[in-house]
Structure 1
Amino acid sequence: MPMKYVGASVITAATLAGISADAWAARVDYTVDLGVEDNDNVTLAPFDPIQQRYLRAGLGFTVTENLSALQLSLGGRVEYRDYEDDVFDDTVDGTLSGRMNWIAIPERLFFTVEDNLSVQPVNALAPDAPGNRQQVNVFSLGPTLLFNWSSALRGQAELRYVNSDAEITDEFNSQRIAAALRAIKEFSATSRMSANFQAQRVDFDNDIVARDYNRYDLFARYSRTLAHFELGADLGYSRIDYRQGESRSDPLIRLDAEWNPTSRSQFTAAVASQFSDTATDALRGIEADAPATVPEHVLTGDAIVNASPYEVRSLDLGYQFTSTRTNFSISPYVQKRNYVDSDEFDQKNRGARFDLHWLVRQSLTLGTYATHEKLEYTVLNREDKTTRLGATLRYEWSRHWSLGLLWERYKRESTDLGQDVSQNIVYLSVSYTNR
């Protein structure tokens, strides 16, 4: 991880955790692991794979705080790999995702700071090898003003400064000013409707390869919250105006639902047809709460890191079951994405993720996971099928210390010649957890 990204992450973490002196009372959970990883195709080459055994170390953490004047949720992980024979330079990859909300004036004014640091591909069409990764950071901060017209009608005004920065793909780098006005009508304790107007001015650092634009969203949202069911629906219109005079517009439709038939099971569904872009998706992906567990992996994302907004139509489903000894989840999805500025990466994809964790006995946990995706680049006439299978075994010999064993197989099949790759990884580690 280059020093500027380490510095940005440290500054963000300090901002999120240190604005109020009360933040020193925040709950901090962390895990440190050190071990040896064996990789049978470290360069993800389609032919003549190189096998290596190298040192790997990681630190994962979560920070949470919930005071009357400060709410904080932060999670992240940093990993170091020491490769042999100079196949790759030693790497440091990190992720950070968090939100801080400071209430300056109760029920009137608060300030929000958000940050998302992720690992994304440089070339989305190439395999996920260490030489094809970059750090991408999206940072946002600004005030929100609340005002009341009556006991059932409230108003909200927001202003945000957003900075997006990629380690290698310079066309992504931008400065943004975003503003929003909202009027919220409470029908009852369980239902409400709001009218929303949002505007965003996007200025890219590199005007040669990126086009500056303004985006406007006007929509109404209805939400209803019951004991075991939540529903939200957005309906409106979006418009993108480029400074050169061209414009694009499209309906904005979003629907999300959550059903909890029992205390242990949960069904979710989300449908969307809207404009978006990589920076907006990064901020939208920040969790309202810190992760339930300390992150154990630094995963490479699948974002196309460029300057173009896109029209996206998506359907996401999910089911989760949680019991004393078993956690299970499955989440299928389908998506179609059309880029406004360039159709090279227009795509259709569908896939699913499966996770299962089983407490075999008090000190022994077995986990399995699987992902499968079929990705079709409609203009390039290319189709990639990607499968990832994994299993974990963790033995806790004391309250803080444990041994872990990870096995993972990655396989990609492509209609493009020379793009079929596979990889098997085994990671044996010892870990220390503070709680």
Structure 2
Amino acid sequence: MRWKYVHASVVTAATLAGVSGTASAARVDYTIDAGIEQNDNVALSTTDPIDQRYLRGGLGFTITESTSSLQANVDGRVEYRDYEDDIFRDTVDGTLAGRLNWIAIPQRLFFSVEDSLSVQPVDALAPDAPGNRQQVNVFSAGPTLLLAWSPSLHGQAELRYVNSDAEVTDEFNSQRLAAALRIIRELTPTSSVTFNVQGQRVDFDDDIVARDYDRYDLYARYVRTLAHFELGADLGYSRISYRQGGSGTRSEPLIRADATWNPTASSSFTLAASSEFSDTAVDALSGIDADATLPENVLTGDAVVNASPYEVRSLDLGYAYTGTRIQFSVAPFVQERDYIESDEFDQDSHGASADFSWLVRRTLRLGLYAADERRTYTSLNRDEDTLRIGATLRYSWVRHWSVGLQWERYKRDSSVVGEDVSQNIVYLNVTYGNR
């Protein structure tokens, strides 16, 4: 079944590349790597770690296109692992994230497609072992009608079909129909306000374990864009209304704010804060980056894959520096998540991630990364502290070809007795890149 999800992601990407090619040549970047990976606790066992060496290979790609009639940004990766001794079945995991906009009628009508394929845990409380992973795909498509009443007053009418599908957790599977009407008022050349009315009808495949609901949002958004500073703020109200069984409705304020400051051409600060309703499918689509980047790994996410929406309050900060030879970023965060259907997975979390890259010389690059998160499941009275640190070294001896060495340590400390685990991974590989 897993190959079905990965194959679908590759077909989607190939389709986007083919569509792009009808207008002009799309830019396609890819890397192919193959090598040997050493893992000192492949099953992430707490008592009897299994040390194993196995084959690993991957294909990462990006597809970008920008013309007057088509814009596309897609990135993805497929990875294969050939385990020894039949401890685990050989696995194929994949990720895909992308958007495509086709301009059907200039300044009047365009059609959008979005897709997010990721690897998520089957059991969010268990460690990231090979047997605790599943592919989760969220697909969205639909038209947007543009309206122009005056030079300073515009409108948008949107309709989207959304399909969400999980490889193992069937209660997540659903079809959605979402519609929105937006009225945009240009206040000045650098500022605008938008009034938004949107609704979403969610129908789950399994009505026994998941309840269908409708969601409505009414809010205004203010945007100010300057040469080195951007500010956005949303203020409104949201309501979730269940169509059968149990509690009927729940309403909460919708508050969001985001800001970006670029004091120099090489550095930027970001801030994002929110208090709103969300769910795993909505988060998957909103997490698609505007710019495609070439993925180097397939990482398992930390989403709770279920049918319940939740109220989330979060604060994310970020700093990034991009120089000629050095790149650096750091991103601390705080989040509180309260589930509507059940409080089992209610959680408070905080942590930070950091990345560092240094071009030692033209043919040699060193990378360091770290991510630390402390999560408290408030109803379960359970604490989890997860640390992931690593280093990469890549040497390019001729054009297109390089050899890389990656080391990573994963450590998970739990307040539950007997569930602390750790793992060290070393991956030696040869890579071919088309650029």
Query: Which of the five TM-score ranges fits, normalised by the shorter chain?
Result: over 0.9
CA deviation after TM superposition for structure 1 residue 9, in Å: 1.6
Q: Map of 1:255-404 to 2, 5 A cutoff? A: 255-291=257-293, 294-404=294-404
Letter of the structure 1 residue corresponding to residue 94 of structure 2: G
Aligned partners of 1:286 and 1:392: how far apart in 2? 25
Contact 1:16–1:99 (Cα < 8 Å) also in 2:
no
Maintained 8 Å contact 1:38/1:427: yes
Distance 1:2 1:131 in 2: 12
| Deviation of the 1:24 alpha carbon | 5.7
CA gap of 1:395–1:21, structure 2 versus 1, over 3 A, is: closer
Q: C-alpha distance in 2, partners of 1:112/1:346?
A: 34
1:142-157 correspondence to structure 2 within 5 Å: 142-157=142-157
**Which position in structure 1 is the counterpart of 2:94?**
94
SS in 2 for 1:305: coil
Cα distance in 1 for partners of 2:151, 2:307 equals 43
Q: Which residue of 2 aligns with 1:115?
A: 115
Partner of 1:251: 253
Question: What is the deviation of 1:20?
Answer: 5.2
Secondary structure of the corresponding residue to residue 50 of structure 2 = coil
User: Using the alignment, how far apart are the partners of 2:49 and 2:65 within structure 1?
Assistant: 47
Q: Quick one: distance in 2 between partners of 1:4 and 1:56? A: 20
* Partner SS state of residue 283, structure 1: helix
- The one-letter amino acid of 2:275's match is S
Matched, 1:104 2:110: no
CA contact (8 A) 2:411 2:421 kept: yes
Structure-to-structure mapping, 1:11-90, within 5 angstroms: 11-19=11-19, 21-22=21-22, 25-90=25-90
Residue 19 of structure 1: how far off its partner (Å): 3.3
Q: Which secondary structure state, in structure 2, belongs to the residue aligned with residue 397 of structure 1?
A: strand
Tell me the residue number matched to 2:239.
Answer: 239
Matched, 1:410 2:403: no
Task: Report the alpha carbon displacement of residue 8 of structure 1 after superposing the two structures with TM.
Answer: 2.4
Q: For 1:253 and 1:312, how far apart are their aligned partners in 2? A: 11
Contact preservation (8 Å) 2:20, 2:72: no
Q: Could you tell me which amino acid in structure 2 is paired with residue 284 of structure 1?
A: S
RMSD of aligned Cα (Å): 1.0
Mapping of residues 127-206 of structure 1, within 5 Å? 127-206=127-206
Partner of 1:431 in structure 2?
A: 431
CA distance in 2, matches of 1:432, 1:20: 24
Contact 2:237 2:253 in 1 (8 A): yes
SS of the residue 1:329 aligns to: strand
Is the contact between residue 118 and residue 136 of structure 1 (CA under 8 Å) also seen in structure 2? Answer: yes
For 1:113 and 1:191, the matched residues in 2 are separated by: 28
Q: CA deviation at 1:187?
A: 1.2
Residue identity (%)? 71
CA distance in 1, matches of 2:382, 2:193: 43
**Residues in 2 aligned to 1:60 and 1:20: alpha-carbon distance in whole angstroms:** 19
| Cα distance in 2 for residues equivalent to 1:268 and 1:223 | 15
Moved more, 108-117 or 187-196: 187-196
AA partner of residue 262 (structure 1):
T
Deviation at 1:4, TM superposition (A): 2.5
Q: Distance in 2 between matches of 1:317 and 1:60?
A: 28
1:263–1:371 Cα change, 3 Å: same
Any idea what SS the aligned residue of 2:408 has?
strand
In the aligned structure 2, how far is the partner of 1:256 from the partner of 1:16? 31
CA distance in 2 between counterparts of 1:154 and 1:22 reads 31
* CA distance in structure 2 between the partners assigned to 1:178 and 1:38 by the alignment: 46
Aligned residue type for 2:261: W
Once residues 19 and 428 of structure 1 are traced to their aligned partners in structure 2, the CA distance between those partners, rounded to angstroms, is 36
How many Å separate the matches in 2 of 1:33 and 1:24?
Answer: 29
Deviation at 1:419, TM superposition (A): 1.1
| Aligned-partner Cα distance in 2 for 1:275–1:376 | 20
**Which of 21-30 and 269-278 deviates more?**
21-30
Q: In the superposition, relative to structure 1, how do residues 132 and 338 fare at CA in structure 2: closer, same or farther (>3 Å)?
A: same
CA distance in 2, matches of 1:305, 1:401: 39
- When residues 235 and 149 of structure 1 are mapped into structure 2, their CA distance, relative to the original with a 3 A threshold, is same
1:284 deviates by: 0.3
User: Aligned-pair distance for 1:188?
Assistant: 1.7
1:268–1:319 contact (8 Å) kept in structure 2: yes
Q: CA deviation at 1:266?
A: 0.3
Q: State the alpha-carbon separation in 1 of the partners of residues 153 and 11 from structure 2.
A: 38
* SS of residue in 2 equivalent to 1:8: helix
Within 2, Cα distance between the matches of 1:172 and 1:108?
Answer: 35
Contact 2:35 2:55 in 1 (8 A): yes
Shift of residue 418 of structure 1? Answer: 1.7
Instruction: Say whether the 8 Å CA contact 1:16–1:113 is kept in structure 2.
Output: no
Contact 2:6 2:95 in 1 (8 A): no
